[in-house]
Amino acid sequence: MEEPLTMLEKLERAAPYNVFFNTIPDLPDTLGDPDNVNFADLLCPSLGQLKCSLQLNFIINPAWLMDQYNARALGTKPLTIVYGLEGEGMEELMESIPNLTYHFVEMTEGIHHSKIGIYVYQDDSLRVVVSTANLYEKDWTQANESLWVSPLCRRLPETASDTDGDSPTGFKSSLLRYLKQYNLPILEPWVEQVGRADFRDVRVFLVTSIPGEHCSGKTDNYVYHVGDLLAQHCTIPSSPLEWEVIAQTSSVGFFGKTSAKWLRGILLRSLAAHDRSQKVFRSGATFKLVYPSVRNVQKGRWSEEGSFCLVYEDGVHRAQKWFKGYLHEWRADRLGRSGVMPHTKSYCRTSPCHNKMAWFLLTSANVSRAAWGRVINDGEGVFVKNYEAGVMFLPKFFDEDCFEIGESSDNKNVRLFPFLFDLPLTEYKAKDHPWCT
């Protein structure tokens, strides 16, 4: 019987994209797949001898999280948690863990929804993990999740400045800016650790949303930052309008009485940008959303119990029935994951043949104005409610023209980009309805 792969071996196999899905214990085929990991894998000693770690997340179950660290004999290592949902007895439980430093992000509106882990090793090198999963058991065992794991970022020489060691994508400066905006004393050591690390091997962009008002050209919100990145770095070979913009999320917000103002005039205007386009109002690009139907949930592995990760209010859907025309079923037959509902969130643009992809965004951000921003000041700015974080993949930073996502006769020896759901998409039928709460 073969020895299971270490996490470092999995990471080496996953290069250059470093994207993983979570293992589902009830789906045995996911357990032996090197593209699938559990949370404890992120603490594998093959990645380095852990010195301390930081978790920025929305929902935390401290008892479950400590079980993961204890499983790797790391339960006494310093751990810092910044979280966004306060549960009953949470503070008492946090207080009972001596190696734990924590902060609850209290907000009047919106949520702290980012999901970032930073792991520092004994030699002061570090790795960053950007994920779609909350830190409690059901997210990691009964929902589909995705995560990106950075290459090892080694300690810079003492003579280096904090501005040294950035990647061509500016990942380091983006992460430092994001950490600093919290203005929390418990994060100051983490700002220093990141500032002293060498991120030159990172090939993705860090994209974040920070609550507040933002004007055009600023990077602290998804609508402007994603659109600017695509306008600068995304090349679509030919007939751009034939390339579909696809969103796949676990939650859906309210967009208005028609698609014109926000969905097509704001969100799609950003997602459809490329280096030969002008950001016209109400883009003509095709937009499709993957979100589970009632049938998807009822035929899923845990039926209605498996819908715990899905949020779309019935009243909201009834107020925007036009949106059903954009909806497509959740299907992941190729990977045997159709029966497990998705908590992962991703955005991409795919070719008419469904074998190529112009860009990919893995993120905590659902399709909502709270995450991406709603227009204010007569279109001169946006207002964002949530903290969100994701990583943007653009082919030119991987020395590619497009990402390959489907096997064909001319790419048999090419590393395919890890892609979770099935293409082409399956439209809702006339009698289908989205799963609503």
As annotated, the active-site residues are 113, 343
E-assigned strand segments in 201-321: 205-209, 212-215, 244-248, 287-290
CA distance 234 to 213: 27
What is the rounded end-to-end Cα distance, in angstroms, of the chain? Answer: 46
Q: What are the tokens at 281?
A: 């109002």
Q: List the one residue out of 190, 51, 69 whose CA is nearest residue 124.
A: 51
Do the Cβ atoms of 113 and 365 come closer than 8 Å? yes
Residues forming beta bridges with residue 290, ordered by sequence position: 248, 328
Question: Parallel, antiparallel, or unpaired: how do β-strands 50-56 and 116-121 relate?
Answer: antiparallel
Task: Quickly list DSSP for 281-293.
Answer: SS--S-EEEE--B
Looking at 147-216, list the stretches that DSSP marks H as alpha helix, in order from N- to C-terminal side. Answer: 171-181, 188-195
Give the other-Cβ count within 10 Å of 4's Cβ: 11
Q: What are the tokens at 55?
A: 């978790």
Block residue for tokens 């991703």:
346
* Residue at 286: amino acid letter: T
CA distance 271 to 361: 10
Do the Cβ atoms of 334 and 425 come closer than 8 Å? no
Q: List the one residue out of 368, 367, 350 whose CA is nearest residue 359.
A: 350
Q: List the one residue out of 182, 76, 199 whose CA is nearest residue 128.
A: 199
Sort 161 into a burial class: Cβ within 10 Å, 0-12 / 13-18 / 19+. exposed
Block residue for tokens 């983490």:
190
Sort 316 into a burial class: Cβ within 10 Å, 0-12 / 13-18 / 19+. middle
Q: Residue 259 to residues 23, 149, 294, 320: CA-CA distances in angstroms? A: 37, 36, 23, 9
Cβ density class 72-84: b for 16+ within 10 Å, e for less: eebeebebbbbbb
